[in-house]
Amino acid sequence: MKKILVPTDFSEQAENALKVAVQLAKKYGSEIYLLHMLELPLPEIDTMNTPSALPEAMFFMKLAHQKFETLLAQDYLKGITVHEIVKNYPSFGSVVDTCHELDVNLIVMGSHGASGFKEMFIGSNAEKVVRTSDIPVLVIKSNHAEFTIDRFVFASDFKEDNNETYKQATDFAKSFGAKMYLLMVNTANNFTSTAEAEKRIHNFIKDYDFKEYSIHIYNDESIESGILNFAKEVDADLIGISTHGRQGIAHFFNGSIGEDVVNHAKRPVITFKI
């Protein structure tokens, strides 16, 4: 993990994510790319050649750089290579485009979630990034003076399309020396017997060398509530989940379990794109 991207609006939530990214950067020897998005419906601003730029755009660009200067002077960033990036009025897909341009390995971002009508019509920024990202996204909800992972819940249906996401999850668990709780949630509308579920999970993981795991079948009203309730019961340090990243009308009618968990979980969540 050589490059970590942290979107920032200079809020408390964004700084919580940055502090976790710093701990990961120290662990992996990574560089951090801090991305700030200017929400201005203006042409892309050239910071090196700006004679034609509008005064309002220049004001907000200057303000962003001042905030970067204040942030980068913090003691916890000493010894870390941090790159400053400002994008003018991009879509949330531009976060992923930036990751592709820079060959980023992980996105770390803060979130306070969204609920009710705000969730339905706007959603959280983290949800929008999760929906569009084919790069793992680690979503941080609170301050972590020491970001450690001992108990890692990985929720899945353990079908073949999750193979790559499971590999990424086990690599992440290995790096922290974490135990994985392999979780399959049963609901009334999609019920699988315990014996059949355990057989499916064993068949799914048989070709992997990761051994620090336990298998859990959990019954609940919905998959999302099952994941959240189980994670609370075991006091998980991290929830991992695969996401299909549905967009548009498909997302409105079908939703995405990964995005819902990101919004409603009170603990860190990492998503892996199928």
**Is 115's pLDDT higher than 60?**
no
pLDDT value of residue 39? 67
pLDDT in tens, 120-179: 333 467 878 888 889 999 999 999 999 999 999 999 999 888 889 999 999 999 999 999
pLDDT value of residue 135? 92
45 against 75, higher pLDDT: 75
Q: Domain 151-273 falls in which CATH fold?
A: Rossmann fold (3.40.50)
Q: Domain 3-140 falls in which CATH fold?
A: Rossmann fold (3.40.50)
Two tokens, residue 200: 């499916």
Give exposure, 83-106, as e/b (b: 16+ Cβ within 10 Å).
Answer: eebbbbeeebebbbebbeeeebeb
53 φ, ψ to 5°? Answer: -70, 145
**Is 262's pLDDT higher than 60?**
yes
pLDDT value of residue 175? 93
Distance from C-alpha of 4 to C-alpha of 107, rounded to nearest angstrom: 6
pLDDT value of residue 113? 61
| Rounded alpha-carbon distances, angstroms, from residue 125 to 109, 114, 120, 258 | 9, 9, 13, 14
pTM of the model: 0.86
Split at pLDDT 50, 70, 90, the class of 222 is very high
Gyration radius of the chain's alpha carbons: 20
pLDDT value of residue 114? 56
Q: Which residue ranges make up each domain of the chain?
A: 3-140, 151-273
**Is 251's pLDDT higher than 50?**
no
Q: How would you classify residue 113: left for phi > 0, otherwise alpha for psi between -120 and 50, otherwise beta?
A: left
* Residue 4 bridge partners (DSSP): 32, 106
% of the chain surpassing 70 pLDDT: 83
What is the crossing angle of helices 93-102 and 125-132, to 10°?
60
Distance from C-alpha of 203 to C-alpha of 197, rounded to nearest angstrom: 10
Q: Report the C-alpha dihedral over residues 165, 259, 200, 166, rounded to 10 degrees.
A: 10
62 against 96, higher pLDDT: 96
Split at pLDDT 50, 70, 90, the class of 108 is very high
Confirm whether 3-140 and 151-273 share one CATH topology: yes
**Is 116's pLDDT higher than 50?**
no
Q: If you write DSSP's letter for every residue of 41-81 in order, what string do you get? A: -SPPP-TT--TTS-HHHHHHHHHHHHHHHHHHTSGGGTT--
pLDDT value of residue 92? 62
What is the crossing angle of helices 223-233 and 257-264, to 10°?
40
pLDDT value of residue 62? 80
**Is 270's pLDDT higher than 60?**
yes
| Rounded alpha-carbon distances, angstroms, from residue 242 to 127, 159, 185, 192, 272 | 13, 11, 14, 20, 5
**Is 57's pLDDT higher than 80?**
no
264 against 58, higher pLDDT: 264
pLDDT value of residue 252? 37
**Is 246's pLDDT higher than 70?**
no
- Read off the pLDDT of each residue in 43-60 and give the average, rounded to a whole number: 57
